[in-house]
Amino acid sequence: MSRVCWGVFRESTHSPGRESDDTEILRLTGKHLEAKGFHVELKTADEVTEAEEVWPRFVFLMCERLDVLERLRTLEVSGVPQVNTPRAVHNTYRDRMVAVLDEASVPFIPSRIVATSEPPEPSAPPVWVKRGDVHNTQEGDVVFATTTAAIETALQGLAQRGIKRAVLQPHVEGDLIKFYGIGAGGGPHREPPWFRWFYHKDQKLSGNPLDQRMLARLVRRAAAALGLEVYGGDAIATATGELVLLDVNAWPSFALYRDEASAAIASYLALRFSGGKR
Ligand SMILES: Nc1ncnc2c1ncn2[C@@H]1O[C@H](COP(=O)(O)OP(=O)(O)OP(=O)(O)O)[C@@H](O)[C@H]1O
Ligand SMILES: [Mg+2]
């Protein structure tokens, strides 16, 4: 039992419309890890907070709630390696992400953090209004506001739900890219990290120029700054060839690449849990 690993599911409230994709990637990763000789136990976030005394040797996690991350953090401090680390997951909370990427000088969509309780300094619409903490969990969390009144309504809606901070971002025109990555780069054999990207399907592409190496580098820099090892997100390729990073998420569903990604994550975890750092 020395190689007992916990895999922790994402809270279903954090997976709107993606519950089964999020569940499947964790399950499949667990299967691949079992084949490598680990004993995997899959847990819900609630089971982690309720667990007592019998702790695993390693944890891989998709959960995001702060109380669960705190619990896992105490385990980590006592020597249980985790992917992603609880701190890295916390860093994807939108307001923290903005601050961490800014501190690390990683280019990110210009983002203004505002209190939801008062009307903001005027921003020229159209503007995206996003809750300041977790990513999109329900209607009203990520809103495209085309007028000043709509910005205020979106902020009031968040305030009424007890969400204190919001992030305001300008609207960027261009081709929407989704990406997935595994590993922060520079592993023991300097193997390139696993990285895939594709154009989001629900859009009419403008055919803007896109430098794939620049995209991979931008994403790796962001992931490294946030401390993420399994990640995904969104970027826009603009008409001038600029790449604008919109969002980085911890351990996404990898939906289009589930089989390939779950095997790659399991290999990465096996290495990481055997003492190889990254
Ligand atoms: N500043 C922006 N400019 C243009 N489009 C944007 C902008 N911000 C968000 N979007 C659009 O809204 C989508 C969701 O935004 P974002 O990724 O920040 O939120 P999320 O909470 O992670 O949602 P999801 O889970 O759907 O990715 C993006 O994929 C993109 O299509
Ligand atoms: Mg997103």
Q: How confident is the model at residue 186 (pLDDT cuts 50, 70, 90)?
A: low
Residue nearest to atom 17 of ligand 1 (CA): 247
- 27 CA → ligand 1 middle, Å: 27
Hey, what domains does the chain have and what are their CATH numbers?
Answer: 4-84 (3.40.50), 85-108+172-250 (3.30.470.20), 110-170 (3.30.1490.20)
- 219 CA → ligand 1 middle, Å: 16
Most confidently predicted of 6-20, 60-74, 120-134: 60-74
Helix (H, G, I), strand (E, B) or coil at 155: helix
**Cβ of 176 below 6 Å from ligand 1:** yes
Dihedral, 91, 92, 96, 97 alpha carbons, nearest 10:
110
Q: Tell me the average pLDDT of the chain.
A: 92
Which is more confident, 162 or 274?
162
Whether 192 shows a pLDDT value over 70: the answer reads no
For the chain, give the longest Cα–Cα distance: 59
Q: How confident is the model at residue 189 (pLDDT cuts 50, 70, 90)?
A: very low
Whether 185 shows a pLDDT value over 70: the answer reads no
Supply angle C-alpha 17, 248, 97, rounded to 5.
120
Q: Cα separation of 32 and 190, whole Å? A: 23
Whether 9 shows a pLDDT value over 60: the answer reads yes
pLDDT in tens, 102-157: 999 999 999 999 999 987 777 889 999 999 999 888 899 999 999 999 999 999 99
Instruction: Report the pLDDT averaged over residues 39-54.
Output: 91
pLDDT in tens, 201-254: 999 999 999 999 899 999 999 999 999 999 999 999 999 999 999 999 999 999
Q: Model-level pTM?
A: 0.94
Distance of alpha carbon 83 from the chain centroid: 12
74, 231 in Cβ contact below 8 A?
A: no
**Cβ of 131 below 6 Å from ligand 1:** no
Q: Cα separation of 110 and 108, whole Å? A: 6
Whether 187 shows a pLDDT value over 60: the answer reads no
Q: Give the model's pLDDT for residue 7.
A: 98
Rounded (to 5) percent helix, strand, coil in the chain: 35, 25, 40
- 26 CA → ligand 1 middle, Å: 24
Q: Cα separation of 148 and 166, whole Å? A: 15
